């Protein structure tokens, strides 16, 4: 979601929407708003990982929430009750008044409609049933690229060897290399065994830390800080009339 929205923002940069304004800007599609939408999208999938239909409904509830105003509330897809993530439904269940503060202009929301349509497609959401994600595939790819970098040309023999080694390490840990040595008639030494076991322990501890709440918060804060810095750089380039090689 975040990637698609940023691509949309870049693609429509400078273009005027139907309301006479650009896509981004104050009270429109900002980086902070993109982060929020990305977070809502992930939560919609995680909360409803047992049903494609429920996932789709929760995703479109996000879309309609951004269209909702005090005059035209659109919360038909939102979860009902005091525990609802939707402020309107939560206030309604508690018999309290609610004022819409996080809505976006219709032109901005409609520009995002194709993205919501693509990312709520049943074929895509089927891959997320029971909490499945792309993370395992991405992790495996990282193991491959750590052995055979994408930016460096490699012969097919080198590439194949790197992939084979990555598969062994990813599926059966680093100690699997010791078995390969034994198959080749080489008996691993004491230090080789201890190093492979150490690498496996470090990998496990890193995985545990990566999925901890504290680690996720740190990564999220770093990501927001980096995006803010990138936005500032872009603004400064425009203000100073940046030209390649002029500094």
pLDDT digits (tens, 9 = 90+) for 72-115: 888 888 877 776 778 888 888 888 888 888 899 999 999 999 99
Q: Give the number of C-alpha atoms closer than 13 A to the C-alpha of residue 238, restricted to the C-beta side.
A: 6
Residue given tokens 């919609």 in the structure block: 44
**Tokens found for residue 228:** 């803010």
Q: Whose CA is closest to 38, among 224, 243, 189?
A: 224
Q: What is the pTM of this model?
A: 0.57
The answer to whether the Cα torsion of 219, 42, 90, 101 is positive or negative is positive
pLDDT, tens only, 32-68: 899 889 989 988 998 888 899 999 999 999 999 999 9
């Amino acid at each position: 979601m975040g990637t698609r929205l940023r691509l949309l923002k870049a693609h429509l940069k400078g273009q005027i929407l139907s309301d006479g304004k650009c896509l981004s800007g104050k009270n429109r599609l900002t980086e902070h708003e993109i982060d929020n939408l990305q977070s809502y999208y992930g939560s919609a999938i995680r909360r409803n990982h047992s049903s494609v239909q429920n996932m789709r409904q929760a995703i479109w509830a996000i879309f309609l929430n951004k269209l909702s105003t005090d005059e035209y509330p659109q919360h038909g897809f939102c979860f009902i009750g005091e525990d609802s993530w939707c402020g309107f439904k939560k206030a309604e269940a508690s018999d309290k008044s609610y004022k819409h503060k996080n809505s976006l202009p219709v032109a901005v929301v409609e520009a995002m409609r194709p993205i919501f349509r693509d990312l709520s497609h049943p074929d895509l959401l089927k891959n997320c049933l029971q909490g499945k994600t792309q993370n395992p595939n991405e992790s495996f790819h990282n193991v491959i690229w750590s052995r055979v970098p994408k930016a460096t040309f490699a012969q097919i023999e080198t590439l194949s060897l790197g992939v084979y080694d990555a598969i062994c390490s990813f599926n059966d840990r680093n100690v699997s290399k010791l078995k390969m040595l034994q198959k080749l008639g080489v008996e691993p030494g004491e230090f080789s065994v201890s190093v492979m076991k150490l690498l496996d322990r470090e990998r496990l501890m890193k995985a545990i830390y990566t999925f901890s709440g504290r680690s996720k918060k740190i990564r999220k804060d770093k990501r927001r800080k980096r995006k803010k810095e990138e936005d500032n750089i872009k603004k400064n380039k425009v203000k100073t009339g940046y030209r390649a090689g002029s500094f």
